[in-house]
Amino acid sequence: MVTEVENKILTSTGPGTPMGELFRRYWIPVMLVSELAEPDCPPVRVSLLSEKLIAFRDTEGRVGLMDEFCAHRRVSLWFGRNEESGLRCPYHGWKYDVTGQCVEVPSEPKENGFCNKVKLKSYPCVELGGVIWTYMGPPEKKPELPAFEWISLPASHCFISRRSQESSYLQALEGGIDSSHVSFLHSGELDTDPLHRNTKGAKYARSKNTTFDILESPGGLIIGARRDAEPGHNYWRITPWIMPWYTLIPPYSGNALNGHVWVPMDDDNCMAWSITFHPSRPLSAEELDAMTNGKGVHVELIPGTTVPTANRSNDYLMDRAGQKSGRYYSGIKGLAIQDASLQESMGPIVDRTKEILVSTDNPIILARRRLLNAAKALEQGGDAPGINPDDQRIRSASFILPTEVSFKEKTLDSVKVVEGLPHVAV
């Protein structure tokens, strides 16, 4: 377990905190490009690392991300008029460009240069893979652009969604690297979810005899979960964790790859990104229909929001009859909401000093230690791990091996990204 002080460090991500400073050294996914679909469209509120920001696309199509509040009287610029290459506060007409620079104050003579003295905090943005990304750290430390495999695939090969979650990013991240819960929490739907059914992996994932082997990588961890398969063989699920908040889910034969990004909105809430992609073919109409309707790692949302239809306020549409019959092991429908319901049930920030951990929690223990060590190293002048493009270009995998064969060599070969070739899956 971690100490109270360590738990505070791990879950505090605002400006000036050790973890907050670490996270600001990475390119951060902010929103889907489609959420700022056209020039001069309505601005969008953004909560990111305990900062309240506003995003907008100007007349020239450029994206701005800056302090939400006007420098004059602190009015929210969500009410602003997006017009003529800037966002204008409707209260007194102060106007800002995509860099946060004030370009017009109607009440002040232009010749006195007052506008030049007013600039809102802003962050640079890029558009990659259908996502708007930002960098919030020191300009001189800006890393290379993100290089995850799904970013460079054709749009037809990838589906992305995002939802808000009422818990610290860390609870969600820890769920993402915890492969042992699949045998329990998700067992009721492994044979019915259209993105998992009719595969050997779904059959073997039911085994409750799970043992972990973990490989450390420059950018995080490669976690191998071993379960019983046919006599004399083991079923392996390989889950990479890439610093600081990316997890890749072991695939099932014939299906696409899946991943998550767990980004802190503030200390008590996170944005859960879900990505489904196939390296060598377009996603099928059946897959797209399933994902659009909240199957697999995706969820159904309340229209116009990032809030899941099944949420804390309605007890996640708990189905006690389905729980009793075994159709839904926890009584909650949908793989992603099954995870979210239990992670949110811990409270916004779980008291990790009260945990009783066992061997299947070793990946979580190591991930916490890597995060703490990375934050400490950064304070001492080091660099953030996982920013090298080579660290980001890995895959998840699943395979069957004879019991006497070590998983390491097979794993290192299986997680390599080979452009145009499918992933390793059973």
Average pLDDT over residues 22-47: 98
- The count of C-alpha atoms lying within 13 angstroms of the C-alpha of 114, restricted to the half-sphere facing its C-beta, is 12
Q: How confident is the model at residue 201 (pLDDT cuts 50, 70, 90)?
A: confident
- Other Cβ atoms less than 10 A from the Cβ of 354: the count is 7
| Among 25-29, 124-128, 244-248, 250-254, the least confident range | 250-254
What confidence tens digit (pLDDT) does each residue in 388-405 have? 999 999 999 999 999 999
Domain with CATH 3.90.380 in the chain: 149-414
Indicate the fold that domain 27-141 takes in CATH: Rieske Iron-sulfur Protein (2.102.10)
**What are φ and ψ of residue 308, in 5° steps?**
-60, 145
pLDDT at 272 over 90: yes
**What are φ and ψ of residue 48, in 5° steps?**
-150, 120
pLDDT at 300 over 80: yes
pLDDT of residue 205: 76
Instruction: Please give the CATH number for the structural domain made up of 149-414.
Output: 3.90.380
Average pLDDT over residues 24-41: 98
pLDDT at 344 over 90: yes
Domain with CATH 2.102.10.10 in the chain: 27-141
Whether 240 and 396 have beta carbons less than 8 Å apart is answered as yes
At what angle are helices 169-176 and 335-345 packed, to 10 degrees? 130
Q: Cβ-count burial of 216 within 10 angstroms (0-12 exposed, 13-18 middle, 19+ buried)?
A: exposed
Return the C-alpha torsion angle 308, 314, 317, 320, nearest 10. Answer: 150
